[in-house]
A and B are shown apart, each in its own frame.
Chain A
Amino acid sequence: MSGLTRRRALGAAAALTSAAAVTAAVTTTASADGQGHDHGHEAPTGPAAGHDHGAPAPFDEVYRGRRIQGRPVAAGEHHGAHHGAGYAVFVDGAELHVMRNADGSWISVVSHYDPVPTPRAAARAAVDELQGARLLPFPAN
């Protein structure tokens, strides 16, 4: 990210993906209803088909005193390149490994057996689980 501030990078990512995010919101509202885990306002995740279409919208908020961010990323942009989820989540700037399930739900490496509806919900679940602990960058694991 050299030469770019994080805010500018997030803005660029949002501009590039806003059309896809709107499409996701329109097409998957029904499937997201009734799951009830998440109280955020981001676009719900898309259906099972494909990684790159219907990626969730970016988010950036302070949750329980910690900054959580999420944004779509291009293939290969992940630090660890463990998967092709097409979406990256950060807790206080450290990348949280997240994964999208075939049904559109999400998990993270600190809550790997308990799907939640959106990447923001996965980020919040991670903050809950961490109880203030620092997240380690996953390539170091």
Chain B
Amino acid sequence: MTVRKNQATLTADEKRRFVAAVLELKRSGRYDAFVTTHNAFIMGDTDNGERTGHRSPSFLPWHRRFLLEFERALQSVDASVALPYWDWTADRSTRSSLWAPDFLGGTGRSLDGRVMDGPFAAAAGNWPVSVRVDGRTYLRRALGAGVRELPTGSEVESVLAMATYDSAPWNSASDGFRNHLEGWRGVNLHNRVHVWVGGQMATGVSPNDPVFWLHHAYVDKLWARWQRRHPGVGYAPTAGTPQVVDLHETMKPWNDTTPADLLDHTPHYTFDTD
């Protein structure tokens, strides 16, 4: 059984194996297919049109399935690897071990945002940014530049306390847990973390930065915490909503899985802690 662990608790060997598996997916071309898929959905999901991956109730189950696909790809390289999560309420400094050279590498240099250390630095030759929106082929970050502070634990608590999963109009204007976690309204959790990291993480091709997976693994964990907090509250909407994925409707691009199929994460993985 896959156990997703807090990145701060990984052993040196676990970090090494995770990095090696990611680099192998990159080398084989499989990694970039994930970046392409994400960008297609982020550009196609609109508030008044069809919306599946973002700005809609299926933001959470869509990313749960997307991460499962990526984790299974990693495990096809090294069966011992699981996706770690980054609790950005706790590890909120640029000096966190997350950003050390033995794991993801640090922030970018001021001249051009280029990441200069770690396994994903362009100079190492193993991380060409191929799926991109501009001419730059190197991984970039500007930790803490786009916004000064990552969300706090109390801000997360305020969102976990929301007793409605989602609400009409089922988009970036909605009230409820999903949109506050996504960040289009309120204290802003998920969106703000993308902005805090900067570089490709602030763009539609955000999975170019491997921290994408650790960020979304924590967002996913927050969904599980919310479910435990509100056991009687289900995914919404449940039927008949144009342009929006209802509880029992299949999701693109897989077309074989519904939000209902993904509400319980425990058939697929567990977390190191509740």
Contact = CB atoms under 8 A, between A and B. Distances in A.
Contacts of B147: 114
B182 to A, nearest CB: 9
B136 A113 contact: no
A113 B47 contact: no
Given A83-B46, A99-B46, A129-B202, A134 B135 contact: yes
A48 B134 contact: no
A85 B47 CA distance: 10
Interface in B167-220: 169, 171-173, 183-184, 190-192, 194-195, 202-206
Nearest to B142: A129
Interface in A103-141: 103, 109-115, 129-131, 133-136, 138, 141
Interface string A10-49: 0000000000000000000000000000000000000010
Interface string A73-102: 000000010111100000000000101111
A1 to B, nearest CB: 22
B113 interface: yes
Contact of B46 (A84, A103, A111, A141): A84
A125 B195 CA distance: 12
A110 B140 CA distance: 12
A102 B49 CA distance: 11
A53 interface: no
A66 B47 CA distance: 30
Contacts of A133: 134-136
Nearest to B48: A51
B204 A102 contact: no
Nearest to B194: A113
Interface size class of A (residues with CB under 8 A): 20 to 34
B131 interface: yes
A103 B185 CA distance: 10
Interface size class of B (residues with CB under 8 A): 35 or more
Contacts of A80: 43
B212 to A, nearest CB: 12
B42 interface: yes
A102 B44 CA distance: 15
A111 B204 CA distance: 8
Contacts of A99: 43, 46
A102 B43 contact: no
Give 6 closest A-B pairs by Cβ, nearest first: A102-B173, A113-B194, A113-B191, A134-B135, A102-B47, A109-B204
30 contacts: A80-B43, A83-B43, A83-B44, A83-B46, A84-B48, A85-B46, A97-B133, A101-B47, A101-B55, A103-B172, A109-B42, A109-B205, A110-B203, A111-B202, A112-B42, A112-B202, A113-B190, A113-B191, A113-B195, A113-B202, A114-B146, A114-B147, A114-B191, A114-B194, A131-B112, A134-B134, A136-B132, A136-B135, A141-B39, A141-B205
Interface of A: 48, 51, 80, 82-85, 97, 99-103, 109-115, 129-131, 133-136, 138, 141
Given A84-B46, A100-B47, A102-B172, 14 more contacts: A83-B46, A101-B172, A102-B171, A109-B133, A109-B205, A110-B202, A112-B42, A112-B206, A113-B190, A113-B194, A129-B202, A141-B39, A141-B132, A141-B205
